Structure formats: structure tokens, C-alpha cells
């Protein structure tokens, strides 16, 4: 009898132990060892990310949906995001209204050339501020910080007067020449990014190169610039997108002759229908400009930088991590 009772007790203890382990395992799965490891925490984080992603993607979905709608679909409250039929004529109107090939060339000239200039000059300036010793270095870095903090609206009037005296108004020189000297759009920010990157590099690289007789320029071009490929990509993409999407500066300096796509979108309605008011009752052949062509034009404008980012996304993320922007 004692053996049977002992056997039953051992069996009961094993069952309780297994049940306790299952409970602990379930608890670990749901709650996790840390707060962020459990299923509930992951579900909350995933839901939050889905909401944020929806807030970012919804305007793009609305843009694409509206660009494919006809006027009848847009005034019909029953039609939601999905149009009854795809109306590609909106893109033809937008292409015509934007004068897309000409505008694309003007915008690409500023964005591409300006970004390349920014990468080179800001990298050179950032390296000098991070590694070289010269009088007034701290003062120069302080002035760069001030330039970064001062809103561009405060300097736009003297800049306009200077560019007007030089005869640069309505030419790409108003953006390309400052970019060549590291003072393009957000140039101070890019200098700070490069400075922080070069400060994080080990000094042993410079010391070894100097022992071999390398000059400061050779050290920069042969050693530091290859190491800064990630930072260069980050600065290039930021600069490219900001130059591509600029409207405030472009509206002041490039009001005619040389106009980027961001300005052409504002005048697209006048290009297509002149001063005629929007009339939804117009017959076939008199279809005026509507929200559809405008959204089609907006999508044609954002598509090139979006394509560039999709191609360089992996290298861009790695560059963000290496430059220390996520710290």
C-alpha cells in the first residue's frame, strides 16, 4: 500500500510539474521574458506600425486612385477608392500640362548636379572640421550650426538681391553655384552628418597613411571617401529629394524660363483650360481639368525619387546606421 501511495504521489507531482511548465511556457509566449518579447507586446507594436504605415500610404493610394478616375467617378459619392474604369487620359493630360520632358530635364539638372556637388563639398568640409587643425575651426563650426538653425525665409531677400545683381535669376546657377561651395539646400546639415561620420573613424588609419607619406588630400580621397560611401549615399538621397521637391525657393528664383516640375504642377490647370471654370456638365471633348489630371501630375512628379529610393533602399538604411543618425 505504501508503494502504491508513493507511486500515486510521484505521479501527481510529475503532473503538477508538467502543468506548471506548460503554464510558464504559455506565460513566456504571451508576456515574454522582457516586456518587448511577448506576443502581446509584439501584437501592440505590429498594430501601431500598421496604423502608422496606413497613415503614410493612404495619401498615395488616394492619389493613384483619383488619377485613374473620370470626372463622373469623382462626382459620384458611391465610387470609393476603386474607380469603375481606369481613365488613363488623366496621365496624358498631366503629361501635356506639365510639359513633362522639358520639366523633367530642368528638375533633373538641378537635383542631380546639385546633389553631386553637395556630396563632394560637404564631405570635404566635414572632414576638415573633424580631422584637420586650423585657426577658427570651432568658430566656423558654430557658424555652420547657426546657418542650420536660421530659417531660409530670413535670408531669402538678400539672396534674391545678390542673385539678381549677378544675373542668375531664372537660371539653375542660383542652386548649383551654392551647392558647389557646400551651401545648397540643407548644406549645413550635410556638413554636420559628414563631420560626425569622420569623427567616428579610428585615428590609426590617418596615422598609418601619414607614415607612408600621404598628404591630407590623398588621405581624404584614397582612404576616407571610400569609407564614407554610406554617408555619401545618405546625403545624396536627402539632397536629391529636397532639390526635386523644392517649391518655396524655386517659386522665388525660377518663376519662368527654367521651371522645375514642382512649379509646373501649380500652373498645370491654366496650361490645359486657361481661365475656364470647372464645369462637370461639359460634354465629351470639352472635359476640363479636374482633380484627376492634377493627381496624375503629382504622381508623375514623385515617381522618379520614389524609384531611386526603392533601388537604393538597402544601402540607404545601412548608410543611416553608419552615419550615426539613429543614435
Can you give the pLDDT at residue 35? 54
Cβ-Cβ contacts under 8 Å for 40 (sequence gap 6 or more): 30, 31
Q: What's the confidence (pLDDT) of residue 105?
A: 92
* pTM for the whole structure: 0.75
Q: What is the pLDDT of residue 116?
A: 93
Q: Comparing C-alpha atoms, which of 193, 175, 206 is closest to residue 232?
A: 193
In the chain (327 residues long), the average pLDDT of successive 10-residue segments reads: 59 63 60 60 81 86 85 76 82 86 90 92 91 86 87 85 89 90 85 88 79 79 84 89 87 81 77 48 44 85 87 71 54
**325 CB-near residues (< 8 Å, 6+ apart):** 193, 234
Give the residue from 266, 263, 265, 264 showing the smallest Cα distance to 250. Answer: 263
What pLDDT score was predicted for residue 108? Answer: 92
Sequence spans of domains, the chain: 99-266
pLDDT at 275: 42
Dihedral pair phi/psi, residue 215, rounded to 5°: -80, 175
Residue (of 247, 233, 248, 230) closest to 308 by Cα position: 233
What string of H, E and C letters represents the secondary structure of the chain? CHHHHHHHHHHHHHHHHHHHHHHHHHHHHHCCCCCCCCHHHHHHHHHHHHHHHHHHHHHHHHHHHHHCCCHHHHHCCCCCCCCCCCCCHHHHHHHHHHCHHHHHHHHHHHHHHHHHHHHHHHHHHHHHHHHCCCCCHHHHHHHHHHHHHCCHHHCHHHHHHHHHHHCCCCCCHHHHHHHHCCCCCCHHHHHHHHHHHHHCCCHHHHHHHHHCCCCHHHHHHHHHHHHCHHHHHHHHHHHHHHHHHCCHHHHHHCCCCCCCHHHHHHCHHHHHHCCCCCCCCCCCCCCCCCHHHHHHHHHHHHHHHHHHHHHCHHHHHHHHHHHCCCC
pLDDT reported for residue 279: 45
Question: What's the start-to-end Cα distance of the chain, in Å?
Answer: 69
Give residue 1's pLDDT: 52
pLDDT at 254: 83
Q: CA 242 to CA 57: how far, in whole Å?
A: 20
pLDDT of residue 259: 84
How far apart, in Å, are the Cα atoms of 322 and each of 85, 193, 194, 196, 229? 47, 10, 11, 10, 10
Question: How far, in Å, CA of 62 to CA of 53, rounded?
Answer: 14
Among the four given CATH numbers 1.10.3720.10, 2.60.40.3680, 1.10.230.10, 3.30.70.1890, the one describing domain 99-266: 1.10.3720.10
Amino acid at each position: 500500500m505504501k508503494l502504491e501511495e508513493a507511486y500515486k504521489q510521484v505521479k501527481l507531482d510529475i503532473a503538477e510539474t508538467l502543468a506548471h511548465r506548460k503554464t510558464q511556457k504559455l506565460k513566456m509566449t504571451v508576456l515574454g521574458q522582457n516586456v518587448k518579447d511577448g506576443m502581446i507586446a509584439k501584437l501592440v507594436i505590429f498594430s501601431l506600425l500598421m496604423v502608422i504605415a496606413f497613415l503614410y500610404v493612404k495619401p498615395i493610394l488616394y492619389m493613384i486612385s483619383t488619377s485613374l478616375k473620370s470626372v463622373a467617378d469623382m462626382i459620384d459619392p458611391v465610387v470609393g477608392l476603386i474607380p469603375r474604369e481606369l481613365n488613363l487620359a488623366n496621365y496624358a493630360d498631366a503629361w501635356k500640362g506639365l510639359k513633362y520632358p522639358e520639366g523633367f530635364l530642368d528638375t533633373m539638372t538641378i537635383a542631380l548636379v546639385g546633389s553631386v556637388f553637395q556630396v563632394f563639398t560637404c564631405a570635404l568640409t566635414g572632414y576638415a572640421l573633424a580631422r584637420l587643425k586650423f585657426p577658427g575651426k570651432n568658430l566656423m563650426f558654430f557658424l555652420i550650426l547657426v546657418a542650420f538653425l536660421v530659417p531660409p525665409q530670413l535670408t531669402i531677400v538678400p539672396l534674391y538681391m545678390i542673385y539678381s545683381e549677378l544675373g542668375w535669376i531664372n537660371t539653375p546657377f542660383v542652386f548649383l553655384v551654392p551647392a558647389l561651395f557646400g551651401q545648397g539646400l540643407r548644406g549645413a546639415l550635410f556638413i554636420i552628418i559628414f563631420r560626425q561620420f569622420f569623427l567616428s573613424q579610428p585615428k590609426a588609419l590617418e596615422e598609418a597613411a601619414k607614415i607612408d607619406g600621404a598628404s591630407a588630400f590623398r588621405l581624404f580621397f584614397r582612404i576616407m571617401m571610400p569609407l564614407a560611401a554610406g554617408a555619401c549615399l545618405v546625403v545624396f538621397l536627402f539632397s536629391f529629394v529636397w532639390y526635386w521637391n523644392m517649391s518655396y525657393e524655386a517659386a522665388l528664383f525660377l518663376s519662368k524660363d527654367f521651371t522645375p516640375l514642382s512649379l509646373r504642377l501649380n500652373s498645370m490647370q491654366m496650361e490645359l483650360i486657361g481661365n475656364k471654370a470647372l464645369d462637370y456638365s461639359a460634354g465629351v471633348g470639352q472635359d476640363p481639368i479636374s482633380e484627376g489630371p492634377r493627381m496624375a501630375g503629382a504622381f508623375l512628379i514623385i515617381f522618379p525619387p520614389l524609384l531611386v529610393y526603392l533601388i537604393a533602399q538597402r544601402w540607404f538604411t545601412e548608410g543611416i546606421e553608419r552615419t550615426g543618425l539613429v543614435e
